[in-house]
Structure 1
Amino acid sequence: MDREHIADLVHQLNDVELAVLLSLVAGKHCILTTEPGCLKLLRQQLELLGPVVFGLTVAVVRCTPDTTLDDFIEPLLLDETRPSPTSHGISPVNNHESGESHFGVRNRSSLLRTSSQGTHDESTSGSRKLANIIIAQDLDFASDQVQTQALELIRTKRFCTRKKNFHHAPDRFLLIALLGRPNGESSLSGHLCDYFFISHHHPSDEGFPEEVERGVEFEQSDVDSLTSVVIRKKVYVRSNRFLEDA
């Protein structure tokens, strides 16, 4: 592939894809932020672009102040029987008839991979292994202990489970801290921030791939449909003698 062709492909990437590409090329990690109401959209965009654009496996961990080390580590390990985290009713397979990928760029998903790379990288074969791309949503909400574990994973590219099993990161490895507030306002530890290569904010007015927005709309439609058929029953409340809806 000549430089001109590569340059043309890069120019077709959106801001999020470019941030991920730069991080992968540099072998470093990144922070991506957006408005809190758009976190789900940005997360799903990242989940799709991993296998679709770069041919890499993706794992997602959603952090809270109550997330334990086991809670943090468990979602990062993938095996052959585990469903892909990209299953949101959106197929990551290219539309071969139109020649367009889910991100609207012709055949990018195959052109940005190495010739020996398929939709599953080396991290998916054999026993449970770390995914290529880890999306740590709301990592700034996690405890100091969990953030320290994330730092050690970035530094050493490995971690040890409670059963004393060591898991090593694949060669192509990227940890993305996905935050719902600007990096300057987050609670990420200073030491952890020092190990991130770039920080990029994706504003909501920039929009998201049509497939991602449509997938979220489908999910919301399912929730609305379920809500519409819920039958409410009258129950007696012990604190008073009046009937009220459950």
Structure 2
Amino acid sequence: MDHVAGTIVERVQSLSDIELASLLCLVADQHCIIEAEEGLLDGVEREIQLVSSDVFGLSCCVLNCSESTTLDDFGKGILVTEDDDRFDFSERRRSNDDYFSSFSISDQIRHSEKRVPRSPGAFNPLDSRKIANIVIAKNLNETHQQVQIQALELIRGKRVFTRTAVHAAPKPFLFIALNASESEFKLIQHLNDQFFISHRHFAEDGLPNLEELLANANFSEDGTSASSVIRSTPMKLPASKPTMPIFSQDDLNALVASTAEVRISPEIRAYMHNIIVFLRLHRAVAGGISAASTRHFSALVRALAPLHGYTYASPSLVTLATSKIFRHRIVLTTPENERSMQWGSSLDAVKAVLDGVTAEDVIEEVLHAVEVPL
């Protein structure tokens, strides 16, 4: 723990929200949802790609999903070639190809096939590929239910079936659902419950890795700003030398070991239990506070402690974990199904009370209601 407190914790302090969310999931061996406005999705996608390479030194792939995405598209789209392992994107930077080109799934497959000569003795390129360490499923919530079930199988079973092989998920492995915050499409209940945490990215939070890369590029003298580049057509960037990752596999292993040693006192356990009970009994909550969420709650509290240099769980860590664990899980009730309607409450009065209530409001109200241990 002294090693973690002396070296790794210092690096954690400089991480952005996206970097920290990725680190937490890698340490806990879990997966996450990242939401952003539709216009920011491309920038966030590229930021995660840079986080994969520069912060963790891991391979990454992007699966662009839509209503037309098939099971075959999903199975093929999450694979990378052996040459792409331990950072596929450094090779793209050295090439003349656009680093930030948005490839469709079919384009990615054709691109990889060009790198493997077709001959009677050659292996099928799909058989020689493997699942990327970090998979970004963009707009996963828009896909058909069967595709989401395939994603659920990948998260739970750590493998995916294609027409030619069975591919096991590597270690470490992180599956990120990158969705538009204003989208009307929802993830199926069981898949949504399997995601460890959720994070909402706002424009003012910035994209530090992408902005730094763009700042080092030789822009033309047209006054184009970094923010406008992020939201506009992709541009070619200069070659960049691969660097050592900020967090190595040894660092991740040290954090995992430290997480297992975190102590949770009976008072903190009671505090966590009360939060869960208050969430389940809140008049605006129809469901979503599942058994899996309570396990994830405890796991996140443990994972947060070593990142702050603690060997124990504190009330502040519990408060931080509450919003990350339950925000995407809470199912809000309708006025007609609100429990007080069973004993004669006025529908108009209930509508007035529930009008505009969000999952964030529920969490904030519960945290204010539950007594914090001293």
Is TM more than 0.5 here? yes
| Residues 1:3 and 2:16 aligned together | no
Name the structure where helix makes up a greater proportion of residues: 2
1:220 and 2:217 aligned: no
1:161 matches 2:162: yes
In structure 2, the partner of 1:41 is 43
Matched residue, 1:173: 173
Q: Answer whether contact 2:75 2:161 (CA < 8 A) is retained.
A: no
Determine if the alignment matches structure 1 residue 86 to structure 2 residue 99: no
Q: Deviation at 1:86?
A: 3.4
Over 3 Å counting, the alpha-carbon distance change for 1:127 and 1:162 in structure 2 is: closer
Q: Against the structure 1 CA distance between its residues 12 and 158, is the aligned structure 2 distance closer, same or farther, given a 3 Å change threshold?
A: same
2:43 and 2:92 mapped to 1: Cα distance? 14
| Corresponding residue for residue 144 of structure 1 | 145
Q: Please report how far the alpha carbon of residue 5 of structure 1 lies from its aligned counterpart in structure 2 after TM superposition.
A: 1.8
Q: Which residue of 2 aligns with 1:201?
A: 200
Aligned to 2:188: 189
Shift of 1:186: 4.0
Question: In 1, Cα distance between the equivalents of 2:66 and 2:190?
Answer: 20
Q: Distance in 2 between matches of 1:201 and 1:85?
A: 27
Kindly state the Cα deviation for residue 70 of structure 1 after the two structures are TM-superposed: 1.0
Count of aligned residue pairs for this structure pair: 187
Aligned pair in 2 of structure 1 residues 85, 42: CA closer, same or farther (>3 Å)? Answer: farther
Q: The residue matched to 1:172 in structure 2 has which SS?
A: coil
Q: Match of 1:47, as an amino acid? A: Q
Identical columns (%)? 43
Kept after mapping to 1: 8 A contact 2:140/2:177: yes
Equivalent AA in structure 1 for residue 233 of structure 2: Q
**SS across alignment from 2:197:** strand
TM-score, with length taken from structure 1: 0.68
Deviation at 1:88, TM superposition (A): 10
1:4-19 pair list within 5 angstroms: 4-19=6-21
Of the structure 1 ranges 76-85 and 167-176, higher mean CA displacement relative to structure 2 is found in 76-85
The separation in 2 between residues aligned to 1:187 and 1:221, in whole angstroms, is: 29
* 1:174-232 Cα distance to aligned partner (Å, 9 max, x none): 1000011169x541001101100000001011111214656882973759xxxxxxxxx
Larger C-alpha radius of gyration, 1 or 2?
2
Q: How far 1:127 sits from its partner (Å)?
A: 2.5
- Identify the structure with bigger relative contact order (alpha carbons < 8 Å, sequence gap 6+): 1
SS at match of 1:220: coil
Query: Please, which runs of 5 or more residues in structure 1 have no aligned partner?
Result: 92-125, 224-246
Query: Mean Cα displacement is larger for which, 53-62 or 206-215?
Result: 206-215
Contact 1:77 1:131 in 2 (8 A): yes
Pairwise CA distance, 1:90? 5.5
Q: Where does structure 2 lack aligned partners over 5 or more consecutive residues?
A: 95-126, 218-225, 237-374
Asked if residue 132 in structure 1 is aligned to residue 145 in structure 2, the reply is: no
Q: CA deviation at 1:147?
A: 0.4
Q: TM-score, normalised by structure 2?
A: 0.46
Secondary structure, aligned partner of 2:136: strand
Which is strand-richer, 1 or 2?
1
What is the distance in 1 between the residues matched to 2:213 and 2:43?
6
What displacement does 1:7 show?
A: 1.1
Alpha-carbon distance in 2 for matches of 1:222, 1:134? 23
- Deviation string 1:53-78 (CA, Å, 9 cap, x unpaired) is 10111011010000011111112111
SS of residue paired to 1:194: helix
Is the Cα–Cα contact under 8 Å of residues 133 and 173 in structure 1 kept in the other structure?
yes
Distance 1:206 1:213, change over 3 A: farther
CA deviation after TM superposition for structure 1 residue 2, in Å: 4.2
The separation in 2 between residues aligned to 1:204 and 1:213, in whole angstroms, is 17
